[in-house]
Amino acid sequence: MIVCVCHRVSDREIARHAHAGMDFEDIQFELGVATQCGQCEGCAREVVAQCNARHPVAAIQLAASLQDSLNRSTQSAAQA
Ligand code: FES
């Protein structure tokens, strides 16, 4: 099903990106979803939320991984 008519983006494409670990803002930047008329934003966010709900462990692992990377970057910057 097409979610974003302006950019012709389907729910499957949004789900594929969400399953790859991207959040809504990443997907919006990558695919252009909800960047023109904005009518698709609610539906697109719902698709992302459903994907995260189905794979909560993956979302938690991704968040932990990102936090770990951020901590390492902060430590490196503090040492420099
Ligand atoms: S339908 Fe997605 S920006 Fe218009």
pLDDT band at residue 14 using 50, 70 and 90 as cut-offs: very high
**Residue to probe by mutation, ligand 1, list 37, 46, 48, most atoms within 8 Å of CB:** 37
Q: Which atom of ligand 1 is nearest to the CA of 35?
A: 3
27 C-beta neighbours (distance < 10 Å), count: 24
Q: Atom 2 in ligand 1: which residue has the minimum CA distance?
A: 4
Inform me whether the pLDDT recorded for 6 exceeds 80: yes
Domains and CATH numbers, the chain: 2-79 (1.10.10.1100)
Asked whether the beta carbons of 40 and 76 are under 8 A apart, the reply is: no
pLDDT tens digits for range 16-75: 999 999 999 999 999 999 999 999 999 999 999 999 887 665 555 656 665 776 677 777
Cross-strand bridge partners of residue 9 = 4
Q: What is the pLDDT of residue 68?
A: 74
